[in-house]
Amino acid sequence: MELLVSFTLIGLVAIFIHLGYSVGLSAREKAEASLEDYQNAQASLDVLSRQIASMVPYVTRQEHEDRTVPVLLFQASRRSLGFVTTWSAVSGFNGGLRFVHYFLANADRDSATPGRRLLLNERPLPPEARLAGAVVRGVSKTEDNRYQAVLATPRAGSRSLTLAEGLASATFRTRARPQGEGFPLDSRINPRRFRVGFRQVFQQQIPAGIQLSLRWNNQGPWGSKTFDLAVPVGGH
């Protein structure tokens, strides 16, 4: 009887030790996963901030109604953002002009994380003769007689970088520059020479800042379902 009681107690102790070890291991794995998600999110926001801060007011000439007109290579909507920058997310440093496109896409069917994804497509800026079709789909005219580039629709591919996943939504907003304030011109602007009036128009079209609002289906990497980030353009 004493041996039976002893073996029973030893078995119970072993069960409790195993349960404690399993709980501790599970907690550690969750903590490591949370830390990894946090670090990945921080790295993604760093990419976004650097590229927006290094935005270039690149002007290209495109065909519109049998005319060649200058347009700014920039387009912002609630679900996407396309522009030219000098900072590369692929190489991790400044050097050369890059065209980048941020956009929201549905997760793959076999993805372990349901919801939507914030993706980044990046490529070296093509030569002027190849911009039409590859980057610029067309040109539109606003009510105040300004020409705007209509960028090609971004597509998710093998080279797309995933910045955030498990999202319910991702919204871009632009902050307009105060009247009379233009983008500071420096050596990053493309060397083509336009009339002074054109330059002033393009300087005004570049926003003062970009705001990104993220909303996750579940708890995000910062312990909340929502997160807002505001980045000044040309703020580096």
Place of tokens 């093998």: 158
Residue 147 has pLDDT above 60, yes or no: yes
Please give the angle made by the CA atoms of 57, 211 and 167, to the nearest 5 degrees: 120
Q: What is the pTM of this model?
A: 0.78
φ, ψ for residue 75 (rounded to 5)? -155, 130
**pLDDT tens by residue, 192-216:** 544 444 555 566 678 889 999 999 9
Residue type, 117: R
54 half-sphere exposure, CB direction, 13 A CA radius? 21
Q: What is the mean pLDDT of residues 62-79?
A: 89
Q: Over the stretch 7-61, which tens digit does the pLDDT of each residue have? A: 676 766 667 676 665 655 555 555 454 556 667 778 888 999 999 988 888 888 8
Query: Which amino acid makes up residue 167?
Result: L
**What does the block give as tokens for 236?**
């580096």
For 176-190, the pLDDT digits (tens) are 877 766 666 554 455
> Largest Cα–Cα distance of the chain, in whole Å?
102
The better pLDDT of the pair 183, 220 is held by 220
Q: How many residues does the chain have?
A: 236
* Cα angle, residue 86 at apex, residues 81 and 90 outer, rounded to 5°: 80
Residue with tokens 């606003």: 142
For the chain, the domains span: 2-232
At 36-51, the pLDDT tens digits run: 666 777 888 899 999 9
Whether 19 and 48 have beta carbons less than 8 Å apart is answered as: no
Is 210:233 a contact under the CB 8 Å cutoff?
yes
21-30, 84-93, 153-162: range with lowest mean pLDDT: 21-30
Mean model confidence pLDDT for the chain: 80
Instruction: Indicate the residue type of 83.
Output: F
* Beta strands, E only, the chain: 55-56, 59-64, 67-72, 75-76, 80-87, 94-106, 116-124, 136-141, 147-151, 161-175, 209-216, 226-232
